[in-house]
Structure 1
Amino acid sequence: MDPRTEDVLDAVGPRLRSLRRDRGITLADLAATTGISESTLSRLESGQRRATLELLLPLATTYDVPLDDLVGAPRTGDPRIHLKPIHRFGMTFVPLSRRPGGIQAFKMIIPATPEPLEPTPQTHDGFEWLYVLNGRLRLVVGERDLTLPVGEAAEFDTSAPHWLGSADGRAVELLILFGPHGTRAHVRAENH
């Protein structure tokens, strides 16, 4: 076997173990979700069993990552990024980062509406940083109701009730960085 292929295959187990641990999933939970026995998962992570498509496909689905990311497949040299938009809550989220865990980057598009929507605040674990690329964002966080024009940024703990929408019914485009609770975006300015 080609040594490069051997290296890729040898790295699959540790990559799978790291991904599972980063997400805080036990072998028992993963076995229940994927239908793969705990012993098979353990042997796969320790490198005692080779990865097969039959094993990797349910893991890729469970972790919501491309199969290439699970195996660490080498890039093909094609510089294009194939973004797959996610449509939720009437908005479009375009993932800009592909690594599991840690801070995730998204372009978020809030479509135009004939009438501005009434806020329906939600909560979830994490921390969010956003930057308005286009339009006027209405941001409700707790008791604060703000309008952010192009070029403004905000950050907040998403365990506080929050809602994002258009301030004037027109489309809004944002850059969003979302991280697990306790993880914040850090900006450092250089003195010249």
Structure 2
Amino acid sequence: MKQEADVDRLVRQRIRALRHSRGWSLDTLAERSFLSPSNLSRIETGARRIALDQLIPIARALDASVDQLIEPTDDADVVIRPRQVHERGMTVWALANNRAPNGLSVAKMRITTPAPPAEEAGVHPGRDWFTVLTGTAELRLGDRLIIVEAGDAAEFSTMIPHAIGAHGRVPVEVLTILTNDGQHAHLPA
């Protein structure tokens, strides 16, 4: 029973927090979920149990899934000390686990070698994005070599042969967001 009460309290908190983050009053959420404001107030305060036939329209109105509202809050999904993987002049720290939204991967990379020539650069569907944390990066896009300084970011089509390297053989650290295709192409298995 304690676990059920904890989940119930968590769902109430999430509903209220999502409503507040959108700047909505109870009336606005009521209008969008086709429930009465007083019913929603009792749900948020715990004066009324949340029924599935109420949870679905509330989730829909908040542009969330029922799964997102009831997802547990254990620490299994928190990455505190990411595992390092060393490969080909690069160290990678995966900062998001398999449950990242939309299948995106987030990683920090420390690169010590220059960008390879165009004929060694890879391609995959989609777009990649990175920002330089420290150092200076070389972004190889086909025959072009673009210098990206610390604090700057780059987004580019990944159908162009591309690679990231360290400019002047001074290590560069980047934070990158990759799609599934980018993850398979750039991150060690």
Instruction: Give TM-score scaled by structure 1 length.
Output: 0.49
Q: Which has the larger radius of gyration?
A: 2
With normalisation by structure 2, the TM-score equals 0.49
- The structure with the greater share of residues assigned to helix is 2
